[in-house]
Amino acid sequence: MQGQPAPYAAHIWVCVNERADGSKACGNGLGMTLKDLLKAGVAQRGWKGRVRVSHSGCMGLCARGPNVMIHPAGRWFSNVTPADVPAILDEVGTFL
Ligand code: FES
């Protein structure tokens, strides 16, 4: 194993977990849409290579989903909608 510093100034994690039984899960609604919008916003702001957008499985707060988390800032956003994407990116910008 080789430990190293995080390669990104910020890493945005978007839960896209889905549940076939219809119970609340971030991915059942907007998870991948949010990921795509955040990725597009990162590219638009010229942050490619410095800010990474990835999707995750369940992050444990399903009832509040869709959930988005920014590492290493420790910021968490719940009940996220596409309209929230610019505000999330504005906050990411304060970490860069
Ligand atoms: S399904 Fe997203 S936090 Fe559990």
Find the helix or strand (DSSP H, E) in which 89 lies.
helix 85-93
Ligand 1 centroid, distance to 19 Cα (angstroms): 9
CA-to-CA separations, 52 to 61, 82, 89, in angstroms, rounded: 22, 18, 12
pLDDT confidence band for 75 (50 / 70 / 90): very high
Write out the two tokens for 70: 């920014």
- Measured from CB, residues less than 6 Å from any atom of ligand 1 are 15, 17, 25-26, 58-62, 65, 67
Per residue in 60-73, pLDDT (tens digit) is 999 999 999 999 99
Domains in the chain and their CATH numbers? 10-93 (3.40.30.10)
Per residue in 1-41, pLDDT (tens digit) is 999 999 999 999 999 999 999 888 998 878 999 999 999 99
Residue 28 φ then ψ, to 5°: -70, -20
Ligand 1 pocket: which of 21, 26, 76 to mutate (most atoms within 8 A of CB): 26
Q: Residue 46: its pLDDT value, please?
A: 98
